Amino acid sequence: MKLSWKALSAVALALTLTTAGVMAQQRVFFGIATGGTGGTYYPLGGMLAQLISNKATVDGKKVSATAESAGASVANAKLLGNNEIESAFVAADILDAAYNGRAQFDKTPIKNLRALAALYPETVQLVTRADSGINGIKDLKGKSISSGSPGSGQYQLLTDLLRVNGLARSDVKEDSSSFSQAVDKIKDGNLDATLITAGVPTAAVTDFAQAHDLKIVPLTGPELDVLLKEQPYYTRVMLPANTYKGQTQEVPTLAVLAVWASNSQLSDDMAYQVTKALFENLPIMGQVHVQGKNIKLDTAMSVGSTPIHPGALKYYKEKGVAK
């Protein structure tokens, strides 16, 4: 019996749909919430997703990972708490505040948070034009500044920096632009400064320095001692000279660790496999961004008070960095 072309087409379509369905069943999906495209989370998250997709399998199924541009640390912690994504990058101080119900998470702790790995230091950068007249935090009074969205870690940091310097948020004109949007506004004269916490060099700041004389405002003085007692996850660092075009002197500032986090709903096997995919391919992460070279197995468990996911902990025990 001969089949008509219509019948043959129907058979081919059915086979295609069946094959697609089987392929979909052979994959399990894994998301990584990062940050804006002008920061460091996004490129490193993209490469991490690619590594996971190439290397990880769970229950015989390939893991299909994607990096998603998301709000920032506070928003990412909430995504995890609501089980809306499998993993996210979160600054260490924000992860601690979320787990323990402090600061922006006051009395609303997210106890299902789990840490996968400490990653790299994020440097605090108070960016302005060289001719702005802003030479310290106190000079921000009456000026316009972006600290990112209320879902970002530097939003809380700006509050703290202003407070220890005798100022309040009402003393500045606030803007909630992303890194890239903020530096564009500074270029156009529509914003005086922006506070950026990210791995350096930060793409948005690099872009700004190519066409404008920039200043990274020093964060120093006894006021910071007060802040560091309240925020133990921050530490004093020096931004190396020539990190950006025209920035010929090193700049004293602060840094905080970025942490790759998940929640207790993530299976142990998945947590193990994605952690393994990261730490067994570190040279590739370093090729994407210089901060990828600062991701190290021997500091992977420096995540603060948030419990390490049992699946990640299994990997660390195998590698001898956990008992």
Question: Is 229 in the same domain as 269?
Answer: no
pLDDT in tens, 54-93: 999 999 999 999 999 887 899 999 999 999 999 999 999 9
Question: Is 282 in the same domain as 158?
Answer: no
Is 278:292 a contact under the CB 8 Å cutoff?
A: no
Question: Is 240 in the same domain as 128?
Answer: yes
Domain of residue 83 covers 25-119+258-318
pLDDT in tens, 245-293: 999 999 999 999 999 999 999 999 999 999 999 999 999 999 999 999 9
- What's the CA gap between 252 and 230, in Å, rounded? 19
DSSP string covering 111-154: TTEEEEEEEEEEEEEEEEETTS---SGGGGTT-EEE---TTSHH
Question: Is 49 in the same domain as 102?
Answer: yes
Percent above pLDDT 70 for the chain: 92
**Amino acid 71: pLDDT:** 75
**Amino acid 9: pLDDT:** 43
Is 140:223 a contact under the CB 8 Å cutoff?
A: no
**Residue 6 is assigned to a structural domain of this protein:** no
Rounded alpha-carbon distances, angstroms, from residue 64 to 11, 46, 69, 285, 307: 29, 12, 17, 18, 26
pTM: 0.86
Biggest alpha carbon–alpha carbon distance for the chain: 91
**Does residue 17 have a pLDDT over 50?**
no
**Residue 7 is assigned to a structural domain of this protein:** no
* Tokens representing residue 296 in the block: 């190290």
Between 257 and 37, whose confidence is greater? Answer: 257
Question: Is 253 in the same domain as 129?
Answer: yes
Res. 40 pLDDT band, cuts 50 70 90: confident
User: Which residue among 229, 257, 285 closes a domain?
Assistant: 257
Question: Is 34 in the same domain as 148?
Answer: no
**Does residue 235 have a pLDDT over 60?**
yes
CATH number at residue 140: 3.40.190.10
Question: Is 130 in the same domain as 220?
Answer: yes
Q: In total, how many domains does the chain have?
A: 2
**Residue 5 is assigned to a structural domain of this protein:** no
**Residue 59 is assigned to a structural domain of this protein:** yes
